[in-house]
């Protein structure tokens, strides 16, 4: 990237300029040379946004992608949107923040209408939120009809280290080791396989990942009350690293139908008003065609996905095309209000 590019001069060969506002760690993982070069070959210029300077003083940008938070950033996006009404902002901050709460992130499923030519069904696990220590954990479980074992997750899912401290709870004694605010979620045996479904606009790709093993009295003795996910991973690491487990992941675990995943992704995209996210999905081993969405993440680690460069470049090209034809959904413009959509 040349000095003139950063200064705002647009080379004639580039047709769409995307500014990215990301934390340094995210830049390192996402803005790979392979992505920059591939996008550039297709007429997409990826330009870093200086987080130490006002956004309105930078550019020009046809599109801004970001994973930043806080009131100062909200104001910067609002000011930029007012001065640049034709620039697409991906995504509206209020919609992103909805995914920072493990209750509100799944509430979207109350309004989804998933229909498929196949026989796949979609649901979310039973769960209950416990906001503070004044609420009895065992009482909350009883009200929702949840049975042990259950998963305990922090209510806040903002990407911080604390938001990843999760546990499997096997009995009431295990509940004593938990500290609200938390979400208690039913544990569903799913064959130790997690489906991570990446979404970038209309583009959808699914990959398989090792997950928690099926729970039974044989592999988790009654002496366990509460186990952190990290400890469970250590207990099963030998199995996960074995050739037989790799074969199970690669050959025996059937991927969900792409038509089903595309429909779910489309419904979520419109329900959440987001373009860049992934959702974690498991298959209930008791009901072979029932899939459960257990988590949704904004702007995930796309670089972990095979050929992510092509998927993201095609997404940027879609935004460029829709921007020129004024077809972009309102939620991608400005801060999430129809007032910010260009006339």
Q: What is the pLDDT of residue 195?
A: 96
Query: CB-based contacts of 236: which residues, under 8 Å, 6+ apart?
Result: 192, 212, 213
**Judgement on whether residues 77 and 158 belong to the same structural domain of the protein:** no
Query: Mean pLDDT across the chain, nearest whole number?
Result: 84
Domain count, the chain: 2
**pLDDT tens track for 282-300:** 999 888 789 999 999 999 9
Statement to judge: residues 227 and 78 lie in one domain = no
- How would you classify the pairing of strands 63-66 and 121-123? unpaired
Same-domain status, 146 and 233? yes
Pair (145, 24) in one structural domain? no
Helices 308-325 & 33-41, crossing angle to 10 degrees?
40
Please report where in the chains the tokens 């930043």 appear, as a residue.
Answer: 68
Residues 273/92, Cβ–Cβ less than 8 Å: yes
Strand 127-130: give its sheet, edge to edge. Answer: 127-130, 182-186, 150-154, 167-169, 226-228
Q: Is 193 part of a structural domain of the chain?
A: yes
Question: pLDDT band at residue 219, thresholds of 50, 70 and 90?
Answer: low
Of 51, 49, 31, residue with least CA distance to 39? 31
Confidence of residue 64 (pLDDT cuts 50, 70, 90): very high
With a cut of 90, say whether residue 221 has pLDDT above it: no
In a domain, 4, yes or no: no
Q: Are residues 43 and 138 in the same domain?
A: no
251 inside domain = yes
Average pLDDT over residues 208-235: 72
Residues 57 and 158 occupy one common structural domain: no
Q: Which domain holds residue 75?
A: 16-91+318-325
Binding residues for 1D-myo-inositol 1,3,4-trisphosphate: 26, 67, 164, 196, 297, 301
158 and 62, same structural domain?
A: no
Q: Are strands 182-186 and 193-200 parallel, antiparallel or unpaired?
A: unpaired
Q: From the annotation, which residues make up the binding site for Mg(2+)? A: 280, 295, 297
Residue 222: band (very low, low, confident or very high) from pLDDT cuts 50, 70, 90? low
87 and 119 assigned to the same domain: no
> How far apart (Å, rounded) are the C-alpha atoms in residues 328 and 89?
11
Q: What is the pLDDT of residues 112-140, one digit of tens each?
A: 876 655 688 999 999 999 999 888 999 99
Residue 78: inside a domain: yes
Mean per-residue pLDDT, 64-83: 96
Both tokens of 167, joined, read: 């546990």
| CA atoms of 87 and 80, how far apart (whole Å) | 9
Q: Which residues are annotated as a binding site?
A: 26, 67, 102, 153, 164, 185-196, 211, 280, 295, 297, 301
Same domain, 173 and 250: yes
Structural domain includes residue 308: no
Is 330 a domain residue?
no
- Overall average pLDDT of the 71-79 stretch: 96
- Quick check: is 7 in a domain? no
Angle at 152 between CA 270 and CA 98, to 5 degrees: 25
- The average pLDDT across 162-189 equals 91
Together in a domain, 232 and 289: yes
| pLDDT, tens digit, 9 for 90 and up, residues 99-108 | 999 999 999 9
- Convert the pLDDT of each residue in 136-159 to its tens digit: 999 999 999 999 999 999 999 988
Q: Does one domain contain both 202 and 69?
A: no
- Please tell me the predicted confidence (pLDDT) of residue 52: 96
Q: Are residues 114 and 212 in the same domain?
A: yes
Question: Tell me, what's the pLDDT at 297?
Answer: 94
pLDDT over 70 at 6, yes or no: no
CATH at 282: 3.30.470.20
Residues at the binding site for ATP are 102, 153, 185-196, 211
Residue 151 lies inside a defined structural domain of this protein: yes
What's the CATH code of the domain at 22?
Answer: 3.40.50.11370
């Amino acid at each position: 990237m040349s000095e003139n590019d950063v200064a705002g001069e647009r080379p004639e060969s580039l047709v769409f300029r995307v500014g990215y506002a990301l934390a340094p760690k995210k830049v390192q993982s996402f803005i790979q040379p392979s992505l920059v070069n591939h996008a550039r070959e297709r007429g997409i210029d990826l330009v870093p946004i200086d987080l130490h300077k006002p956004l309105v003083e930078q550019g020009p940008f046809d599109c801004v992608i970001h994973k930043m938070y806080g009131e100062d950033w909200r104001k910067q996006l609002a000011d930029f949107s007012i001065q640049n009404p034709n620039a697409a902002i991906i995504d509206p901050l209020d919609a992103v923040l909805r995914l920072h709460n493990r209750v509100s992130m799944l509430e979207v499923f109350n309004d989804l209408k998933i229909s498929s030519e196949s026989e796949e069904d979609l649901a979310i696990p039973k769960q209950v939120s416990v906001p503070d220590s004044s609420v009895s954990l065992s009482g909350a479980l009883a009200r929702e009809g949840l049975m042990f074992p259950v998963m305990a997750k922090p209510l806040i899912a903002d990407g911080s280290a604390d938001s990843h401290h999760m546990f499997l709870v096997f009995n009431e004694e295990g509940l004593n080791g938990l500290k609200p605010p938390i979400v208690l979620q039913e544990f569903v045996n799913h064959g130790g396989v997690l489906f991570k479904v990446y979404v970038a606009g209309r583009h959808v790709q699914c990959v398989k990942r090792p997950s928690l093993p099926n729970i039974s009295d044989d592999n988790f003795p009654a002496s366990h009350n509460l186990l952190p996910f990290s400890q469970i991973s250590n207990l099963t690491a030998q199995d996960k690293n074995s050739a037989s487990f790799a074969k199970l992941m690669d050959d025996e675990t059937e991927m969900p139908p792409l038509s089903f995943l595309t429909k779910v992704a489309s419904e979520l995209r419109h329900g959440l008003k987001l373009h860049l996210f992934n959702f974690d999905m498991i298959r209930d081993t008791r009901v072979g065609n029932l899939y459960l969405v257990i988590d949704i993440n904004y702007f995930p680690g796309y670089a972990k996905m095979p050929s992510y460069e092509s998927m993201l470049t095609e997404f940027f090209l879609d935004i460029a095309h829709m921007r020129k034809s004024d077809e972009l959904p309102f939620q991608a413009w400005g801060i999430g209000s129809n007032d910010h959509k260009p006339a």
